[in-house]
Structure 1
Amino acid sequence: MSDTEIRSVMVPVTGVELLLPNATVAEMVGFTEPDPIPEAVDWVLGTILWHGWQVPVISYSSLIEEADGEDLKGARICILKTLIDTDRMPYMAVITQGHPRLVTITEDNLEEIPTESNPIAVAGRAQVDGRDAVIPDLDRLGHLVAHAAFGALPLTS
């Protein structure tokens, strides 16, 4: 048994669960209709105002082609800290289908699911305690969202 433990969350999105480090989740909020962004790609649903920030809201499931759309009835919004070095977009948000579940990742309960290739913004797939999960590539996701929502990569600080 390994002494390494990573506090994480399993976040249910349409069709899959995301495995995220707990430290990347800023807050879970109730669903509010995002303000649309003109000419945005279909997986960018718009922006919401959160603590003074215009936060882009996305359908991660649509981005990685796990779903054609989102059921917004009962949906929630998971605010994530971005990993990109910018003051312009420190947060992004993902539509979720329920509440996240806290998990502690150890060598014993994590098993990689090998794949030949992954969709854009997917770092890999794994099983945690027997449940399938997608591990997002948060760095790439932050850049994709910034580009799709604001038309250009954000200026770094």
Structure 2
Amino acid sequence: MERPQGEIEILGLIDWHQFSVPVIALESVVGRPFGEPGAKAKVAICNALDNSQQHPAIGIVLESVPRVLVVEDGRRLPAAQEKSEFALSSRHQGDLVWIPDMEKIGHSVNQQLALD
């Protein structure tokens, strides 16, 4: 089923440090299909950067541990290769990297949960 523009699929809520944290899949952020998480899936907790404070953190399902991307001081990543409403992508050393906009993601998720 196609989600309306501006909505991210919320997989559920988990309790983390006395907060109710909505969990999403990065695939839904970039408009790709998301299957069942594997046995080794993890959830990365990220600040939502949304001022509503209803849910100040967002959990993102990951199939592997993300690695830090070090960009040399003063150097920029190439222009976006692909775009979604909630993230941009670029190429770094031949790999496609997605950079999520946590403020937009947090705003969308908090709006959706406020309507429920």
TM-score normalised by the shorter chain: which range applies?
Answer: 0.7 to 0.9
> Corresponding residue for 1:128?
92
Q: CA deviation at 1:119?
A: 2.2
Distance in 2 between residues matched to 1:74 and 1:63, nearest whole Å: 21
Normalization by structure 1: what TM-score?
A: 0.60
Q: CA deviation at 1:65?
A: 2.1
Quote the Cα distance in structure 2 between the aligned partners of 1:114 and 1:63. 16
1:151 aligns with 2:102: no
Partner Cα separation in structure 2 for residue 97 and residue 150 of structure 1: 29
- Aligned residue for 1:75? 41
Query: What's the offset of the Cα at 1:109?
Result: 7.0
1:52-84 Cα distance to aligned partner (Å, 9 max, x none): 000000112024322242423210000001111
Aligned counterparts of 2:60 and 2:12: Cα–Cα separation in 1: 11
Give the CA deviation at 1:105: 1.6
The alpha-carbon deviation at position 103 of structure 1 amounts to 2.1
The structure 1 segments of at least 4 consecutive aligned residues displaced by more than 4 Å after TM superposition are: none
Q: Gaps spanning 5+ residues in structure 1: where?
A: 1-40, 153-157
Which amino acid is the alignment partner of residue 44 of structure 1? I
Report percent identity of matched pairs: 24
- Give the number of equivalent residue pairs: 109
Q: C-alpha offsets along residues 92-133 of structure 1, whole Å, 9 cap, x if unaligned?
A: 110001111122123557322345xx22212x2111222111
Compute the displacement of 1:42 (Å): 7.8
| Cα distance in 2 between the residues matched to 1:121 and 1:132 | 16
- Residue 111 (structure 1) aligned with residue 78 (structure 2): yes
SS in 2 for 1:104: coil
Residue type of the alignment partner of 1:112: A
The amino acid that maps onto 1:120 is E
